[in-house]
A and B are shown apart, each in its own frame.
Chain A
Amino acid sequence: MIYLFLLILTIAILLLIADKFLKTSENELVTKINDILPQTQCGQCDYPGCKPYAEAVANGEAEINKCQPGGERVIKELAELLGREVLDPAKEKKTPQVVVIDEDKCIGCTKCIQVCPPDCIIGAVKKMHTVVEKDCTGCELCIEVCPVDCIDIVQLKQSFKYKKVKVNID
């Protein structure tokens, strides 16, 4: 009788430990995935941010090719981490861009401030708004909400010097 009791006790303890272990490992996976994501929090993956997307990827809900700013690098690293297949990006990677607010047209409604993930728009109610260029990720979230359509995209120039060397091996 006492043996049976002990057995049940050990099993219970083991189960508890296993449960905890599994949970942490899942959390760890989410963190690992999240670390690979660019943290732009732009929602272009159709999730409200990088962390939710990481969670969705971790429990198999989402494909690994949804993060638009991440591009091929993120897909490759995710595939490696999760042992999944490398997919083509769901959306083309955009060239780097930022947005500017047409300060004459802005009515100061503060809608853009509310949606901007990195909080890079400065302004107050009924005052003109401006984008801090260095912090803007070009995620375009603010463009959709602006009632007077006064936010424009500006492409940033990229200074790449070296292209990949091509080897023509027949």
Chain B
Amino acid sequence: MLKKLLKQNIKTKGLQIKPGLKAASLDIAQISDINSLVYPLEDAKLNTYIPTVSIGDKVKKGQVIAEAENAHGLKILAALDGVIETIDEVKAPLPQKITPALIIKPDNKKYWFDDVFFNIDVKLDEYPKEMIFEKIVQANIQGLGGGLFLSAKKILGSNIEHIVLNAVECEPILNCDEAVLYNYLAEVLAGGIFLKNAAKAKTITIVLKENKKDLINHISHFVKNNEQFNGINLATVPDLYPSGAEKEILKHVFNTKLTSAQHATDHGFLMQNVMTCVSIFRAVTCDLPQLERVFSVFGKNIESPTNLVAPIGVTVEDILAFLKIDSNKVDSIRIGGLMMGEDIVKGTSRKHSALLKSSNGIILNTYEDKEVSECINCGECVKACPVDLVPNKMFKAAQADDFNSSYLKNLSECMNCNLCNYVCPSNIDLVGMFKYAKQQKAMIQEEQKRAEYINNLTQKKIERTKFEKQEKERIKQERKLARQKRLEEKQKKEQETNETTA
């Protein structure tokens, strides 16, 4: 009873955002010609990668070509057979910055996607837990929802009780997850069952937006009619942005509130995007590494927006060519969603702008140069913030580099949802400032940690030097004593001989 009451009291903050853009059709097209694959040696999460191959090397599909420097177990795999054309020479855009890239020239331009489908005769529960885990590690599976966390690490996380398949997709217009569910529903659910077995979890829940009635019907029908999937639950969240965020889902569906320092795994939840489940299914049943992803291409003046499956690393140039979109008519490219995505740095070549593992969308022609004016203290941003922060005050504190300010104490709660920017009548880039502030705060923390570490080393050295000095002194004393003793003995002997001779 109490639980129910609590549930009703949870307010769902958020906005309905309806930009006048055409959504992609729910079929998934397959890109055909691939001229080159570009892999930035850094990812959207700022991990840097070191190539494990050299220029001119022949690489095979699925081969490791670079490993993360900060040893998170992250790797970059070649998506096609080919030759390493350049390393470090060209710069590829990541959101907000450009970074050196590795380029593969494929042997064969033609690309095909190894479609593997779920076979009703396969008994999912017969796959042993250790094997599933091993294959997830092998396939380099990362969360395609944008977090890029290694799925294997999540499984290893604390006691997982519930698997949550996130299909909320709250970014406006974006519908690649929906397309995945229509085209690969059985594979998604099978991947979910593998996850559940690997993590020894008890339940699986798939979460959707409540307004997607057709999809909900489709899924519940499917789940009911397939014995292996009978136990899977369905839950919905309101059609609001950002109801698909991990924290929002846990709050709304599971009545669990995360503090900023906590992850879903700390509460026994393992959340995974539905596309990642397909990767898991492919990895476990057919040993296929995670080389592709599905993403939506849409934008202003785009007649036929499409959901595409393509290997990670495919260039925007190839994508535009495949969709027969005139590159000259594309003014701006945004990677990710309309709300949380980022416009790629102007002036970088489309030849070198690549599909990243974290890119759920490629959005064309939506960039507007907005005039920024002073904050009028209207409070719109405060009203909009789903996690009850005070963006205008936080902005001012960050602007003054006052990172100890009480307004920035809860900065880590901010999930970069962009709602404050969206509602701000003065077009202030609040989120940009928060990203900067988070970076600076992290840097200061890092500096302090390092200071402690270095101080420790320094103290040790001081002690060591002191000890060495004492030791030297001791040895010196010992020698001195020994010398004295020898001298005394000698004298004694001399005396004795003197006495005897006398």
Partner of A159, one of B48, B374, B433: B48
In the complex with contacts A161-B96, A162-B435, A168-B372 CB distance below 8 A: yes
In the assembled complex, the CB of A41 is this many whole angstroms from the nearest CB of chain B, namely 5
Count the A residues whose beta carbon is within 8 Å of the partner chain — how many? Answer: 26
Within 8 Å CB of B372, what residues of A? 167-168
> Complex: how many Å from CA A73 to CA B451?
14
Within 8 Å CB of A118, what residues of B? 454, 457-458, 461
* Binary contact track A32-57/B, C-beta < 8 Å → 1, others 0: 00000111110000000110000000
Q: Would you call B116 an interface residue if the criterion is a C-beta within 8 Å of the partner chain's C-beta atoms?
A: no
> Complex: how many Å from CA A119 to CA B463?
11
Q: Is the CB of B444 within 8 A of A73?
A: yes
> Complex: how many Å from CA A160 to CA B398?
16
In the assembled complex, the CB of B36 is this many whole angstroms from the nearest CB of chain A, namely 25
In the assembled complex, the CB of A71 is this many whole angstroms from the nearest CB of chain B, namely 10
> Complex: how many Å from CA A51 to CA B473?
27
In the assembled complex, the CB of B114 is this many whole angstroms from the nearest CB of chain A, namely 35
> Complex: how many Å from CA A92 to CA B429?
30
Q: Is the CB of A39 within 8 A of B455?
A: yes
Within 8 Å CB of A50, what residues of B? 455
Partner of A39, one of B398, B435, B458: B458
In the complex with contacts A119-B464, A163-B436, A169-B374, A38-B96 CB distance below 8 A: no
> Complex: how many Å from CA A110 to CA B399?
48
> Complex: how many Å from CA A120 to CA B438?
31
Q: Would you call B6 an interface residue if the criterion is a C-beta within 8 Å of the partner chain's C-beta atoms?
A: no
Partner of A137, one of B46, B436, B454: B454
Q: Would you call B187 an interface residue if the criterion is a C-beta within 8 Å of the partner chain's C-beta atoms?
A: no
Q: Is the CB of B454 within 8 A of A119?
A: no
Q: Is the CB of B458 within 8 A of A164?
A: no
> Complex: how many Å from CA A119 to CA B433?
39
Interface SS majority for chain B: helix
In the complex with contacts A118-B457, A118-B461, A167-B428, A161-B46 CB distance below 8 A: yes
Q: Would you call A2 an interface residue if the criterion is a C-beta within 8 Å of the partner chain's C-beta atoms?
A: no
Q: Is the CB of B433 within 8 A of A135?
A: no
> Complex: how many Å from CA A135 to CA B453?
9
CB nearest to B44 among chain A residues: A161
Interface SS majority for chain A: loop
Q: Is the CB of B457 within 8 A of A135?
A: yes
Q: Is the CB of A162 within 8 A of B452?
A: no
Q: Is the CB of A165 within 8 A of B455?
A: no
CB nearest to A134 among chain B residues: B453
> Complex: how many Å from CA A113 to CA B458?
12
Q: Would you call B474 an interface residue if the criterion is a C-beta within 8 Å of the partner chain's C-beta atoms?
A: no
> Complex: how many Å from CA A73 to CA B439?
15
Q: Is the CB of B97 within 8 A of A165?
A: no
Within 8 Å CB of B444, what residues of A? 73
- Interface centre among B398, B435, B455, by most chain A C-beta atoms within 10 angstroms, is B455
- Interface centre among A76, A118, A165, by most chain B C-beta atoms within 10 angstroms, is A165
Q: Is the CB of B432 within 8 A of A40?
A: no
> Complex: how many Å from CA A79 to CA B23?
55
Q: Is the CB of A160 within 8 A of B439?
A: yes
- Interface centre among B438, B444, B458, B464, by most chain A C-beta atoms within 10 angstroms, is B458
Q: Is the CB of B432 within 8 A of A117?
A: no
Within 8 Å CB of B451, what residues of A? 37-40
In the assembled complex, the CB of B433 is this many whole angstroms from the nearest CB of chain A, namely 4
Within 8 Å CB of A40, what residues of B? 451, 454
Q: Is the CB of B439 within 8 A of A162?
A: yes
CB nearest to B374 among chain A residues: A169
Q: Which of B446-491 contact A (CB under 8 A)?
A: 447, 450-452, 454-455, 457-458, 460-461, 464
Q: Which of B411-438 contact A (CB under 8 A)?
A: 428-429, 432-433, 435-436, 438
Q: Is the CB of A165 within 8 A of B433?
A: yes
Within 8 Å CB of B460, what residues of A? 119
Q: Would you call B42 an interface residue if the criterion is a C-beta within 8 Å of the partner chain's C-beta atoms?
A: yes
> Complex: how many Å from CA A94 to CA B395?
28
Q: Which of A1-58 contact B (CB under 8 A)?
A: 37-41, 49-50
Q: Is the CB of B439 within 8 A of A135?
A: no
Within 8 Å CB of B398, what residues of A? 164
> Complex: how many Å from CA A158 to CA B42?
13
Q: Is the CB of A119 within 8 A of B399?
A: no
Q: Is the CB of B458 within 8 A of A162?
A: no
> Complex: how many Å from CA A65 to CA B101?
41
Within 8 Å CB of B96, what residues of A? 161-162
* Binary contact track A141-170/B, C-beta < 8 Å → 1, others 0: 000000000000000000111111101110
In the assembled complex, the CB of A151 is this many whole angstroms from the nearest CB of chain B, namely 18
In the assembled complex, the CB of B235 is this many whole angstroms from the nearest CB of chain A, namely 35
> Complex: how many Å from CA A76 to CA B42?
33
CB nearest to B435 among chain A residues: A162
What are 18 residue pairs bridging A and B, where the CB atoms are less than 8 Å apart in the complex?
Answer: A38-B450, A39-B452, A39-B455, A41-B458, A118-B454, A119-B461, A159-B46, A159-B48, A160-B439, A161-B46, A161-B96, A162-B432, A164-B399, A164-B436, A165-B428, A165-B429, A168-B372, A169-B373
5 shortest A-B CB distances, which residue pairs?
A: A39-B455, A119-B461, A118-B457, A162-B436, A39-B451
Interface residue ranges, B against A (CB under 8 Å): 42, 46, 48, 96-97, 372-374, 398-399, 401, 428-429, 432-433, 435-436, 438-439, 444, 447, 450-452, 454-455, 457-458, 460-461, 464
Interface residue ranges, A against B (CB under 8 Å): 37-41, 49-50, 73, 76, 116-120, 135, 137, 159-165, 167-169
| New contact pairs (16) apart from A39-B454, A162-B436, A162-B438, CB-CB < 8 Å | A39-B451, A40-B454, A50-B455, A73-B444, A117-B454, A119-B461, A119-B464, A135-B454, A159-B48, A160-B439, A161-B96, A161-B439, A162-B435, A164-B433, A165-B432, A169-B373
